[in-house]
Amino acid sequence: MNQHALAALLRRSRASLVAWAKLGMPVAQRGGPGRETLYNPVVVAEWLKATGRGQRPELAPMAMTVPTEPEIQTSGHAGGAAAGELEELPPPAGSDPHGYLEARAQREKTQAKLIELEYLQRVGALTSTDEVRRETAAIWADVAQQIRTLPHQLDAKLTSEPDYARRQRIWDHELHDFLARLSAHISTEGAS
């Protein structure tokens, strides 16, 4: 959870968080140029409870308790959490009248998704749309060519057979075989 969200959750200023961090409040990841300071709210809640800090008489009915596992899911890494590994708790009612925290959380999720897509593209797990179009066009060109050869393949077999019912069975059998070969060809071309 970033500093702004934690300050809103605790109803404290960001300056208070900085001061508490200097007094020993656990920090999951220190900020720096271009990086936010991140906190594990479960660990912070335990520290506040243990040190008696953050107690405000006007918030007594809302005294902060240590969230349970269903409330905050971590990725299972020990020693704090990195960005994207915590689901943030919703801010207290009335603490975000303009929807800033919700918009920021949505932005962070979108940025994480973009980073994931860029990584997948770098490692070759994604294919460009132009490449997919070229492959699709090549496969359909093969399909069209094979369909054009079907009448020539059947012509000799069907014209030499006088029995209509047998011609129908030959037609059905050849068409079924043709479609099976075509399907196998498309699967093979699509996999390469």
Residue of 40 and 95 predicted with greater confidence: 40
**Residue whose structure tokens are 């068409």:** 175
Encoded tokens for 136: 């699709």
Close Cβ partners of 42 (under 8 Å, ≥ 6 residues apart): 66, 67, 72, 74
Q: How long is the chain?
A: 192
Give me the mean pLDDT over the 74-93 stretch: 47
Give me the mean pLDDT over the 180-189 stretch: 77
Q: Tell me the per-residue pLDDT of 140-179, one tens digit each, with 9 for 90 and over.
A: 888 888 888 888 878 877 888 888 898 888 888 888 888 8
Name the 3-class secondary structure at 60.
Answer: helix
Tell me the DSSP string of 77-98: -SSS--TTSSPPPPPPTTS-TT
**Residue whose structure tokens are 């060809």:** 185
Q: Which helix (H) or strand (E) holds 19?
A: helix 14-22
